[in-house]
Amino acid sequence: MFQSIVQKLASTAIAVGSLFFTSVTGTNATFENPQIQESGSQVVISANLTNCFTDELDRIIQSGRPVRFNFRVTLHQAGSQQTVLLQDFYHEVQYSLVDHVYQIYFSETDQTGNAATLEEMHNRMSVVSQYRVIDENTLNDNTEYFIQIRAYMEKIRLPGMKEDINLMNYWNNTEPLLVSDAFDKDDLAL
């Protein structure tokens, strides 16, 4: 119990500091290892969001407040920049100060899982795995497309605080963006 109170106070102190000091230590979060493939008749994308946690962000998470990584996936027709499809989903983590586990909700599958360690939570929160973008039969023949995926965090307010914390400060106020190579239906059949 005492440890939980100490963690909460430390998290709140970090959060308060981020409100008053403009030099929040941020990181340059990026997407790596993108894969676009066919799964059944679905076009799916997988990628890893890397370099997306800082010690201060971890402390905010360990305060017990939910923190959400929002993802936006867009499918574009190559050349015209026309958006064919736009979809949003998120991964949300909430640390239990009582059970000392991280509960993670994945909106794209409507499933919840637990992570016992900080490292496991980092890995699970930052992986986009086999996200279903569109049915392959919806794509036009002889047309090239590309997929963009971006991530962002929203502001949160910790208990006892009057101001919101802009969590994007921990990503240097930059949304990580992945733009795939162009592909067509034939590329997916490989």
Per-residue pLDDT tens digits for 99-111:
999 999 999 999 9
* DSSP state, residue 78: T
Q: Averaging pLDDT over each range in 16-30, 104-118, 148-162, which range is the top one?
A: 104-118
Residues whose CB is less than 8 angstroms from the CB of residue 52 and which lie 6 or more positions away in sequence, other chains included: 27, 29, 69, 122, 125, 126, 151, 171, 176
Q: Is the pLDDT of residue 6 over 70?
A: no
Please write the tens of the pLDDT for every residue from 51-86: 999 999 999 999 999 999 999 999 999 988 789 999
Q: How confident is the model at residue 16 (pLDDT cuts 50, 70, 90)?
A: low
pTM: 0.86
Structure tokens at 17: 């500091």
Residue 94 has pLDDT above 70, yes or no: yes
Q: How confident is the model at residue 186 (pLDDT cuts 50, 70, 90)?
A: confident
Picking from 44, 46, 75, 85, the residue whose alpha carbon sits closest to that of residue 182 is 75
pLDDT of residue 105: 98
The residue extents of the domains of the chain are: 2-188
* Structure tokens, 155: 């502001």
Quick check: 62 and 7 in contact, CB under 8 A?
yes
SS (H, E, C) 156-184: ECCCCCCCCECHHHHHCCCCCEEECCCEC
What is the reported pLDDT for 160? Answer: 83
- Using CA atoms, how far residue 127 sits from 9, 18, 81, in Å, is 30, 27, 26
The mean predicted confidence, pLDDT, of the chain is 89
Which pLDDT value is given to residue 20? 47
